[in-house]
Amino acid sequence: MTTLVLLRHGETLLTPGRRLSGSGGSNPGLSPVGRRQAQAAADALAHRGDIEAVVTSPMRRCQETAHAVAARLGLSVRVDRDLREADFGAWEGLTFTEVRERYPDELSAWFASPESPPSGAGETMQQVTRRVAAVRDGLLAQYAGTPVLVVSHVGPLRTLIRLALQAPPHSLFRMEVAAASLSTMTYDEDGTATVHTLNDTHHLN
């Protein structure tokens, strides 16, 4: 049994306003709140006691979160660029309300189809799914039987959960993955996935 523990990065200054912050944006670091959240996650994972590897998105907010946890656990951090957030094109830095006002047709198409990109030649969710699935397959091969912490973003983490559930693409917009939340899934030897926890934020209280 291989366990993937999914940790979303802590808050940035863009997070409370729910502004889109993808790989084509400003690459913000953690806010003071986000740094506290990262430490709380580190404490929770230290209490869990079984994480043997830490893999993270290259984006600043994830690396800061991952290094806070790894330092607490006495582990090194491996960076995988395919765990980065989607590129939201012209929508970077906007709220969904602002996107709906400025790009209503493109937003409707994006919600309707994983093959539709954000405005400005952003990345489709289909493209995100392909690279995230490849990361998952690599982790399962490299860390078979090992609990691995994956530090990433809303898009990639929702995608991992969706794939584990064998849920349709539109289910991405029906799950919450809050800042510094933890979700857990296991894969048995034949690759069958089971989601055990989703959006656990008890350690932040």
Here the tokens at position 95 are 């709220």
Task: Provide the terminal-to-terminal Cα distance of the chain, rounded to the nearest Å.
Answer: 30
Q: Is 168 helix (H, G, I), strand (E, B) or coil?
A: coil
List, in sequence order, the alpha helices (H) in the chain: 32-48, 60-73, 96-102, 104-112, 125-142, 154-165
CA-based R_g, the chain, Å: 16
Known catalytic residues are: 9, 85
Between helix 60-73 and helix 32-48 the angle, nearest 10°, is 40
Contact status, residue 89 vs residue 124, Cβ threshold 8 Å: no
